[in-house]
Amino acid sequence: MPFITPPVLRRSILLNALPPFASRNSCFLQPVLTTCFRGRFFAAAATAHRAVDIKNKEESHLLDAAPPIQNFINGVFVPSKAKKWIPLRNPATQEVLGRVPESTLGELESAVTAASHALVAWREVPIQQRQRVMFKLQHLIRENTEALAESITREQGKTLADARGDVFRGLEVVELTCGTASLMMGETMEGLANGVDTYSYKQPLGVCAGICPFNFPAMIPLWMFPVAVTCGNTYLLKPSERDPGAALLLAQMATEAGLPPGVLNIVHGTKHTVDFLCDHPSIKEAVARAEALMEEGAKEGAEILLDGRGIKVEGYPNGNFLGPSLLLFSSAAMAARNVAYREEIFAPVLNVVCVDSLEEAIQFVNASPYGNGTAIFTSSGAAARKYQKEIDVGQVGINVPIPVPLPFFSFTGSRGSLRGDLHFYGKEGVAFYTQTKTITSNWQFHAASAQAASSMPTLK
């Protein structure tokens, strides 16, 4: 019986935050939004956090003493005049690393203005020169991979090995953008009629925006702005307030690589960008939520085979840790009704669902409203072929646990895991950040003006 992983839930989580970095060796890392929206400027509403007034005096003192995280506007770091701030914590120690601003409306508007002004010149820069900036950026990212990984671990809590992978998978997209010219080439056909030719160009959209979640601080921003700016757009990025360091560090690297002021701008927590929900960001609450979902899942019939709740890590008494956990569901019907399966836990919790056949497994996966990724592990070529053909999920792995494709292809979630009409990076990423202009011309050598007419042309 092949082992099948269920589709991964893909949510649009918005977050913001991070302190400025003084040198290449003191940096921070951030994640990004899994949902892109096409347009000259898009203001989204999908975040899970809002800065709130802190009542505890000790907490308030710690927040006031923490270094403020700055916006990056028009090529420079700009202190925020925000009246509300969000604590940026190390999830392993609860240490307050900095305070993230809920930026003012004026700060957001200045970022959009900077991007709009920069667009005029940047879109006219030859594609070869824009690609050279990406060549330099990928070199700087390689040179600073360890610093980026350490920042991710400090702000987001991943292991160093996982954080390095976060950086590397984003770096692959930057490498792909070094050859954007071939992906932006238009089409042409001559002789459609007597003296009539048709050809097309791909042109930049204008000012674009990206909103980032917390789970991949480096990878998802690198899926966004490098493709966009290499296509000739300018960009406004809002990182997660839980781990914004990566985004700011990457902005610093992009500037060093030669990206002009205003082409990439970063703001934190602005209401004009995101309609925040009411909950204050807290890793502690995330751990409690995962444990609560496990408990509710058990009450609804799931069996806890491996319980990672209550784990203690020596040297980190205030940390937020949850050990590996396994939940067993005796049937697909039980899993479909169980809150521990329906809700995305975002924790090291694996749901094991028992089914009687490959057909039932396919029906179970297809019944999910989400279609990000799924995998089958089998030694049967027939089972693998049946699964890949009948499964309604955008990314399928065969004996591959995480089927995220390399950048030559596109990140292809489907159904509830797709927002918009195109996907991340690859050919579809270039199509996302460009618009096609088609020209039909009539340059006959003789008597062109005498034959001109305003009636609908026919191809004769």
pLDDT tens readout for residues 37-64: 333 222 222 223 333 344 456 667 677 7
Report d(CA 454, CA 390) in Å as an integer: 52
Does residue 377 lie within any of the structural domains?
A: yes
Q: Is 278 exposed, middle or buried (0-12, 13-18, 19+ CB in 10 A)?
A: exposed
Task: Tell me, yes or no, whether 310 and 289 share the same domain.
Answer: yes
Phi, psi of 374 (to 5 degrees): -150, 160
Would the pLDDT of 88 be above 80?
yes
What was the pLDDT predicted at 180? 87
In a domain, 409, yes or no: no
User: Tens of pLDDT along 433-444?
Assistant: 777 777 777 777
Lowest mean pLDDT among 74-78, 228-232, 270-274, 296-300: 270-274
| pLDDT at res. 454 | 66
Average pLDDT score over residue span 352-361 = 85
* CA triple 217-219-223, angle to 5 deg: 125
Of 130 and 2, which is predicted with more confidence? 130
Quick one: pLDDT at residue 139? 96
Domain contains 29: no
**Would you say residue 266 has pLDDT above 50?**
yes
For residue 294, with 0-12 CB atoms within 10 Å meaning exposed, 13-18 middle and 19 or more buried, which class applies?
Answer: buried
Name the nearest CA neighbour of 233 among 427, 424, 45, 38: 38
Distances (CA, A) of 248 to 99, 129, 405: 14, 23, 26
If we measure between CA atoms, which residue out of 40, 29, 35 comes closest to residue 435?
40
Buried/exposed 171-181: b ≥16 CB within 10 Å, e otherwise: bbbbbbbbebe
pLDDT at 144 over 80: yes
Q: Which residues pair with 3 in a beta bridge?
A: 377
Whole-number Cα distances in Å, 190 to 328, 374, 441, 443, 452: 63, 45, 10, 11, 19
Residue where a domain terminates, one of 312, 337, 354: 354
Residues in the chain: 460
Mean pLDDT of the 363-381 span: 81
- Regarding whether 145 and 213 lie in a shared domain, the answer is yes
Last residue of a domain, one of 336, 354, 372: 354
pLDDT band of 286, cuts 50, 70, 90:
very low
What whole-number distance in Å separates Cα of residue 247 and Cα of residue 15? 12
Distance of CA 119 to the CA centre of its chain: 23
Tokens 């809920």 found at: 102
Query: Do 246 and 297 have their domain in common?
Result: no
**Is residue 184 in some structural domain?**
yes
Dig out the tokens for 427 from the structure: 């050919």
CA distance 23 to 404: 33
Position 424, amino acid: F
Does the pLDDT at position 77 exceed 60? Answer: yes
Q: Is the pLDDT of residue 162 over 70?
A: yes
Residue 317: CA atoms inside 13 Å, Cβ hemisphere, count?
0
Residues 6+ apart with CB under 8 A from 182: none
At how many degrees (to 10) do helices 219-230 and 245-257 cross? 30
pLDDT band per the 50, 70, 90 thresholds, residue 32? very low
What pLDDT is recorded for position 31? 27
**Domain span at 326:** 285-354
Residue 39 lies in a domain: no
Q: How confident is the model at residue 100 (pLDDT cuts 50, 70, 90)?
A: very high
The answer to which of 91-105, 147-161, 342-356 has the lowest mean pLDDT is: 342-356
Asked whether residue 245 falls in the same domain as residue 336, the answer is: no
Q: Does 123 have pLDDT greater than 60? A: yes
Are 433 and 374 found together in one domain? no
Residue 203 has pLDDT above 50, yes or no: yes
**Averaged pLDDT for residues 5-27:** 30
Closest CA to 251 of 82, 69, 425, 20: 20
In this structure, the answer to whether residues 181 and 148 fall within a common structural domain is: yes
Helices (H), 157-218: 160-177, 180-183
pLDDT at 170: 92
- The whole-number pLDDT of residue 402 equals 76
Instruction: Examine the domain organization and report whether 206 and 259 are in the same domain.
Output: yes
212 and 250, same structural domain?
A: yes
Residue 337 maps to which CATH number?
Answer: 3.40.309.10
- Per DSSP (E only), the strands in 19-128 are 71-73, 76-78, 85-89, 96-101
Note whether 150 and 140 are same-domain residues. Answer: yes
The residue among 91 and 140 whose pLDDT is bigger is: 140
- pLDDT recorded at residue 416: 59
What gap in Å lies between CA 87 and CA 51, rounded to an integer? Answer: 9
In a domain, 1, yes or no: no
Same domain, 136 and 168: yes
- pLDDT band with cut points at 50, 70 and 90 for residue 343: confident
**Shared-domain flag, residues 76 and 205:** yes
Domain-located, residue 160: yes
Residue 45 located in a structural domain? no
pLDDT of residue 284 exceeding 60, the answer is no
d(CA 215, CA 219): 9
The mean pLDDT value for 371-388 works out to 83
Closest CA to 69 of 239, 319, 278, 283: 239
Burial 220-240 (b: 16+ CB within 10 A, else e): bbbbbbbbbbbbbbbbbbbbb
Residues 271, 305, single domain; the answer is no
- Note the pLDDT of residue 214: 87
Q: How many domains does the chain have?
A: 3
